[in-house]
Every structure is written in C-alpha cells, then in structure tokens.
Amino acid sequence: MFTGIVSAMGEVKAVERLPGLARLTIESSYDPASVEIGASIAHDGVCLTVVEATSRPGGMAHIVEVAAESLALTTMGELRVGDRVNLERSLRVGDELGGHIVQGHIDGLGEVLSVRQDGEGWRLKITPPPEIEHLIAQKGSIAVSGVSLTVNEVDAEGFGVLIIPHTWAVTTLSALRAGDKVNLEADMMARYAARLVEARRNA
C-alpha cells in the first residue's frame, strides 16, 4: 500500500530488455541501508519489487523487473535512460496517511490535454480511458503518475487537477506536456462502490 505522497524522484540509469520483461536501474537519494531486497517501491504509481540495490554517492541505485503486462499497460514500457520517475516507499503500520490509499495497481493510461499556470499553481486537464471514467468524481481522489491529487472538475473531455507549487517542484508532473501519457489509479473506494452497483444490477 502507498499514499500517493512522492518521497523521491529517481533517474533511469539503465534499461535492459529481456524475454517477457525489462530490468530498470533507478538511481535515487534513498538511503541504501533502508531498502531491503524484496521491498516494494511505487515507480510513477506502479508497484515494483526491488531485486538488487547498491550504494551510490548521495544515495543508491536499485533494480526492478517489470513484467510484459506492466510494460504494455503503463508508462513503464516507454521509459528511457535519463527519464525521471516519482518514487514512493510502501506504507508501514503507523505511518501518516498524507494522501489517500493507493495500491500501486494502475487502472489505465490517461492523456494530458493541457497544462496551464493558474496563479501560483498549475492546472492539468487529463482524458482518462473510457473504462474508468465512471470511477472519477469531482472532489474525489486520484493518483496521477503516483501522485495523490484531488479531482477539481469533471466534464465530457476528462478531469482537471490543481497542482500546488511544492508538488510541482518535487515530482515529475512539472515535465508533463499536452499529449503525454500518465498512469492513473482511481480511488479504491470508488472501485468497490462501482463493483457493488454492478453486482446489484446483475442480481
């Protein structure tokens, strides 16, 4: 489990393509002593398992293996050396729940329609895939590339979110441009509510 509060930005240092998967080497400011092999880290919202880790000046580098399905259905398949990703360590019992409950299971890829400054903040307009449109509601929560955000508006084109200056500065959202793809995970409560409604209709 995660909260959608990014704790570091990582940089892709290597991409190794293997049959059925890819091995990504990610460098970050994380303390290597605090990351065990087998640990779960969200990468742009995708929960991945650390399979190797080494110390680097000022932090560490870790390797994750990404399965073919995740490569095809998320932005993980588009990552190249030099790209930056939002990182979040898994939630531990007793940690503060600063955002909302995020599972690290991507529901689909959204497309950025527009990016514009709004006062001191920034507004993103995103078109979600049709299969999750019904899970997105005004004032509800959504994870965009692993970042917990509040939905400010919903219309026929998609949904809008407002990014505060701090979030803009410490995540990869500031690099987004119109046409870019983003990983979307709908609020877990919305998923279960939708499933309940569907079950009642089919009863």
Active site residue 67: yes
**What tokens were used for 146?**
């692993």
Active site residue 47: yes
Q: Which of 2, 28, 70, 100 is catalytic?
A: 2
Active site residue 105: yes
Active site residue 2: yes
Active site residue 49: yes
Q: Which of 7, 8, 39, 40 is catalytic?
A: 40
Q: Which of 7, 49, 114, 174 is catalytic?
A: 49
Tokens 């399965």 map to which residue?
Answer: 67
Q: CB-based contacts of 62: which residues, under 8 Å, 6+ apart?
A: 25, 26, 28, 30, 35, 41, 50, 52, 53, 54
Instruction: Give, for 199, the enclosing helix (H) or strand (E).
Output: helix 188-202
Q: Which of 47, 61, 186, 190 is catalytic?
A: 47
Instruction: Give, for 200, the enclosing helix (H) or strand (E).
Output: helix 188-202
**Residues 35, 169, 128, 111: what is their CA dihedral angle, to the nearest 10 degrees?**
-110
Q: Which of 14, 67, 175, 178 is catalytic?
A: 67
Contact at 8 Å (CB) between 4 and 14?
A: no
Q: Which of 55, 150, 175, 178 is catalytic?
A: 150
What's the chain's Rg over C-alpha atoms? Answer: 17
Q: Which of 7, 8, 105, 194 is catalytic?
A: 105
Contact at 8 Å (CB) between 140 and 190?
A: yes
**What tokens were used for 31?**
């303390």
Active site residue 25: no
Q: Where in the sequence numbering do the catalytic residues fall?
A: 2, 40, 47, 49, 67, 105, 150
